[in-house]
Amino acid sequence: MKKCHYFQILKLNSFNYEYINDAITNKLQIKRRKTMAIRNILRSGNPILRERSTEFEIDQIQTQATRQLVADMFETMEAANGQGLAAPQIGELKRVVIVRLFRDENYIDRVLFNPKIKVVGKSKLGSWEGCLSVPGFVGYVERIRRIELEFYDESAKKNLETVEGYDAVVYQHECDHFDGILYTDRMTDSRLFGFDDTTDTRELRALVKSN
């Protein structure tokens, strides 16, 4: 998902580091990752973006290969000024997503393995969405306002949360990638779509609503 331009990044990304349990002291040691890579982000039209992704086995979550994948995803997302990224967007058909949730002038980074979303109620929230796989465009999408989110974190621990508002929108947007769905597929009116740098979102929506 594309990040809104007005957020300022203020803290270091924790996934630039590798966390290792010291067998002698039994304390968590932190070591700078030696290698991270900016990966190519697939764009709309690439058939891989329309494929379904497979789940992680639980014992795969904490492997070095998976940690490297997550580190690459953060590096790639930051380079593209994004707010979220799903593994299929870089050609990895695995169910892991990273999100950056903004809190005032700071943010929280999260990693979700095998996330599952359950709809809570029928209330919807409309917003203008962008996507790193549909660069340069925005579109108006209505999504469920409140969800239950089940996932495994980077420690392979199972989590269950209730999420609402814009955070719920972000999770739904990113998890759609696992089933080959882009936000443009969720739009109900193709007129509410345009170039990011020229679309007057308020005026356009008002005009379309009045017709």
Catalytic residues, by residue number, are 174
What does the block give as tokens for 98?
């990273």
Nearest to 177 by CA among 46, 40, 15: 46
144 and 119 Cβ atoms separated by less than 8 Å: yes
Q: Which helix (H) or strand (E) holds 131?
A: strand 124-131
CB atoms within 10 A of CB 122: 8
Structure tokens at 199: 């679309």
For the beta carbon of residue 98, count every other beta carbon within 10 angstroms. Answer: 24
Residue 10, sorted as left (phi over 0), alpha (psi -120 to 50) or beta, turns out to be alpha
